[in-house]
Amino acid sequence: MSDAPFSVYDYEARAKLTLPHDFWEFIEAGAMDESTTRRNRSAFEAIKLRPRFLRDVENRKLSTTVLGTEISFPVMVSPAGGHKIAHPDGELATAKGAGMSNTLMMLSTSSHYPMEEVVEAGTGPKWFQLYHRGYEITEMLVHRAEEAGFKAIVLTVDTPVPSPKERDVHNHYKNPFPLGNFLATGEELTAMSGTDEAPDWRPALVPPLTWKELEWLQGLTSLPLVLKGIRTAEDAHVAVESGVNGILVSTHGGRQIDQTMGAIEMLPEIVEASKGQAEVYLDSGVRRGSDVLKALALGARAVSVGRPLYWGLAVNGAEGVHGMLEVLRRELDHDLAACGQTSVEELEPNLVSVPAGWGPGQMYP
């Protein structure tokens, strides 16, 4: 394999050759049977495009906005813990790569580099992903994020308890680097519990936030709030009623509760429930430009990728992240034209077919 990687899967194959086995497995792993991780992909495959032809598609617009911030195309970087396992420059390289692609990076609470350094490292806009690990820690993180220049807070809601990844248990996997945001605070253990960094069965050390405390969180900052991991119309409805600004539909890449639908299957009901009052984004299983197009056609404003960022990093640091994102840009641009579309913001209705019966509580295929 001497040629440049041509697809996101090429990045995956090369990363596997580069990374130590236990790091590789930590990144790939899903919870329990990994059924949701597989379902994220099979659900994308089950949606079919309905291309239109004999149209002028010479000029195409891929840029869009998320919460008022312009990004050059509707693919962002999902928040994911500890990037140093894939490259020594970790999140600094990811920030640089995302900046080179003029898109947005979400930074995890569990990053290896401190948030302030990551903001300085890349030119693109950034959102800060929050794991609630107690009121004082949350307050400290949110204030630092606002001060550092993050443009939104992304609260991950799908981890009320940690979920074991059995591959990590078998490998005795331990996060090998300290967490950058807690270097000075001595709160690392509390901060790690219940996150992707805690592969065992330890319970979270603090009770998770509930809807009741959302107002408290919103009161800490003037930044917009995005909820990451919402999976039902019911929760989307409460989220919108609570005044959240965005919903990131996600299965956490299948790394938390297993045996759910794929993220893309949940998207239509959540878009409907959000009634245009919150922007809706999606991650989990996005690997092709056609996946991006399908998600946009079903109402997502933008998507983001998790595992592929590690693959890009492992292959070639910042350049690898940039290269991986550019693969998705090229494929999206191609598919847009090949389907007779010219703008990611003005896709025509009925661009996709979804399997019969998708929806809350329905029989599924």
Ligand X SMILES: Cc1cc2nc3c(=O)[nH]c(=O)nc-3n(C[C@H](O)[C@H](O)[C@H](O)COP(=O)(O)O)c2cc1C
Residues at the site binding ligand X, with contacts judged by CB under 6 A: 26-27, 40, 78-81, 108, 110, 129, 156, 195-196, 228, 250, 252-253, 255, 283-286, 305-307
Placement of tokens 């703008």 in the chain: 343
Q: Closest CB to ligand X among 331 and 341? A: 331
Q: Annotated catalytic residue: which of 83, 112, 252, 322? A: 252
Q: Which of residues 94 and 108 has its CB atom nearest to ligand X in the complex?
A: 108
Q: Which is nearer to ligand X, 37 or 341 (CB)?
A: 37
The smaller minimum CB distance to ligand X, of residues 191 and 352, is found at 191
Smallest gap from residue 333 Cβ to ligand X (A): 20
Q: How far is the CB of 311 from ligand X (least distance, A)?
A: 10
- CA 28 – CA 301 distance, rounded (Å): 26
Residue nearest to ligand X (CB): 306
For this structure, is 252 an active site residue? Answer: yes
Instruction: Check the CA dihedral 187-191-194-198 and report its sign.
Output: negative
Burial class from Cβ neighbours inside 10 Å (0-12, 13-18, 19+) for residue 213 reads middle
Measure Cα distances from 316 to 5, 109, 326, 339, 343 in Å: 11, 24, 14, 32, 31
* Shortest reach from residue 256's CB to ligand X, in Å: 9
- 196 vs 269 by CB, closer to ligand X: 196
The Cα 57–Cα 339 span in angstroms is 9
Least Å from the CB of residue 298 to ligand X: 17
Q: CB burial class (10 A; 0-12, 13-18, 19+) of residue 136?
A: exposed
Q: Measured from the CB atom, is 118 or 341 closer to ligand X?
A: 118
CB of 211 to ligand X, least distance (A): 18
Question: Whole-number minimum distance, CB 305 to ligand X, in Å?
Answer: 5
Smallest gap from Cβ 190 to ligand X, in A, equals 15
Q: How far is residue 346 from each of residues 170, 278, 336, 340, measured CA to CA in Å?
A: 48, 18, 11, 11
Q: 122 or 162, CB closer to ligand X? A: 162
Question: Which residues belong to the active site?
Answer: 252
